[in-house]
């Protein structure tokens, strides 16, 4: 069995192993990390040898920590990262490069249709009728997208929304509210097979699926990092928020979507969103304006160039061919708008 895992902000860990009699055998850990002293790698292999195959990530990491020499120094590597690679090997997880990725980047769409397209496309991936897909959104109108479990009245000021012509929609994933305007945000979705995140915890899958965009930002001179559970941040502040939904049916799939601030109008956002004092305190900031930092100021690049650079970065890493929303997918998405995402029943399902 073979498993790979790139430690967030670190290096690639590769594990090859067999399972005999319900235990790990012939465990071999490798990767492009840095590790001292030399014998530490042998200690890691020995710690994993004979471990019950059903040992969870925490248990595997504990075995490694207990076996490492006191002088051990790890750079780009963690015991948890090795443990995750083991779990991915046991789960027969796939890798990014195992797939023929498809890009969808089409004309601006109404907010409710974007919600529906996410569900339809990810369902198609789950059923094996569509390859893993990166979809870059273009917005036809300003919107607030609230999380699946958020209270509508607690999150949105209806007077402010009406004043600015903002449409309120509810997505299928959890997380917080996002304020978007055409040209001022960069939003994308990843619709991926369950196998890509096999062996990862729900939390670990966020960092794993965000890693490519951290590299893309780095290529543009922005040092960014994953900030648990679902934020992307820089020294200047938060620049993006992610959310996920697991889709059942077929082999299963994961929807992972991210909204990045390019040039946020913070005053308008505060007029539309109700951002409580507790949330602001939790984020460690005094002003909502400091919570979302525009990419425009950090890159100095037009929004279209930032998007093109991100797409090129993904393509260079994993390959990417141009695709479209099929007529059947669009018809199903439009029906979902009519019956679900465009209805008051869905939007106000948590009043």
pLDDT in tens, 144-156: 999 999 999 999 9
Mean pLDDT of the chain: 93
Give the pLDDT of residue 28. 98
Q: Which residue has the tokens 């999150």?
A: 155
pLDDT at 275: 79
Handedness of CA 188, 193, 199, 203 (dihedral sign): positive
Cβ neighbours around 71 below 10 Å, total:
9
Question: Cα dist. 347→113, 121, 144 in Å?
Answer: 13, 21, 11
Q: Where do the H-state alpha helices sit in the chain?
A: 39-48, 57-67, 79-90, 111-126, 152-155, 158-163, 202-219, 266-272, 277-282, 295-299, 303-318, 327-336, 344-347
Quote the pLDDT of residue 281.
47
Share of the chain above pLDDT 90, in %: 87
pLDDT of residue 343: 98
* CA–CA dist 228, 209 (Å, integer): 13
Please spell the DSSP secondary structure of 322-347, one letter per residue: E----HHHHHHHHHHIIIIITSHHHH
pLDDT tens, position by position, 79-93: 999 999 999 999 999
pLDDT tens digit string along 213-246?
999 999 999 999 999 889 999 888 889 999 999 9
Report all structural domains of the chain as residue ranges with CATH numbers, in order of start: 2-90 (3.30.390.50), 96-347 (3.30.930.10)
pLDDT tens for residues 62-76?
999 999 999 999 999
Q: Report how far residue 187's alpha carbon sits from residue 258's, in angstroms, rounded to the nearest whole number.
A: 6
Helix, strand or coil, per DSSP, at residue 348: coil
Contact at 8 Å (CB) between 24 and 53?
Answer: yes
Sheet holding 167-170, edge to edge: 167-170, 143-146, 178-180
Maximal CA-CA distance, the chain: 67
- pLDDT > 90? residue 294: no
Label residue 313 by pLDDT band (50, 70, 90). Answer: very high
Note the residue count of the chain.
351
Mean of pLDDT values over 111-117: 98
Q: Report the C-alpha gap between 221 and 224 in whole angstroms.
A: 9
């Amino acid at each position: 069995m073979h498993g790979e895992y790139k430690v967030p902000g670190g290096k690639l860990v590769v594990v090859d192993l067999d399972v005999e009699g319900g235990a790990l055998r012939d465990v071999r850990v490798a990767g492009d990390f840095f590790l001292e002293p030399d014998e530490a790698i042998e200690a890691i292999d020995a710690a994993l040898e004979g471990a019950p195959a059903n040992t969870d990530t925490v248990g595997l990491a504990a075995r490694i920590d207990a076996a490492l020499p006191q002088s051990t120094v790890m750079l780009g590597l963690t015991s948890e990262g090795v443990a995750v690679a083991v779990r991915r090997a046991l789960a027969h997880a796939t890798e990014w490069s195992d797939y023929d990725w498809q890009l969808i980047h089409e004309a601006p769409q109404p907010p409710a249709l974007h919600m529906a397209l996410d569900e339809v496309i990810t369902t198609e991936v789950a059923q094996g009728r569509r390859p893993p897909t990166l979809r870059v959104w273009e917005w036809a109108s300003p919107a607030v997208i609230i999380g699946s479990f958020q209270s509508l009245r607690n999150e949105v000021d209806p007077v402010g929304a009406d004043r600015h012509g903002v449409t309120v929609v509810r997505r299928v994933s959890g997380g917080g509210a996002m304020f978007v305007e055409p040209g001022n945000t960069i939003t994308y979705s990843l619709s991926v097979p369950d196998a890509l995140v096999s062996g990862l915890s729900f939390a670990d899958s966020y960092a794993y699926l965000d890693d490519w965009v951290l590299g893309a930002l780095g290529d543009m001179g922005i040092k960014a990092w994953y900030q648990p559970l679902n934020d992307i941040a820089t020294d200047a502040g938060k620049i993006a928020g992610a959310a996920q939904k697991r889709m059942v049916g077929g082999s299963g799939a994961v929807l992972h979507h991210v909204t990045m601030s390019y040039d946020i109008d913070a005053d308008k956002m505060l007029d539309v969103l109700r951002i409580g004092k507790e949330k602001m305190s939790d984020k460690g900031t005094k002003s909502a304006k400091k919570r979302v930092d525009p990419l425009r100021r950090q890159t100095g690049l037009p929004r279209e160039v930032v998007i093109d650079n991100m797409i090129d970065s993904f393509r260079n890493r994993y390959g990417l061919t141009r695709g479209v929303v099929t007529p059947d997918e669009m018809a199903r998405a439009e029906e979902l708008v009519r019956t679900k995402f465009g209805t008051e029943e869905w939007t106000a399902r948590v009043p």
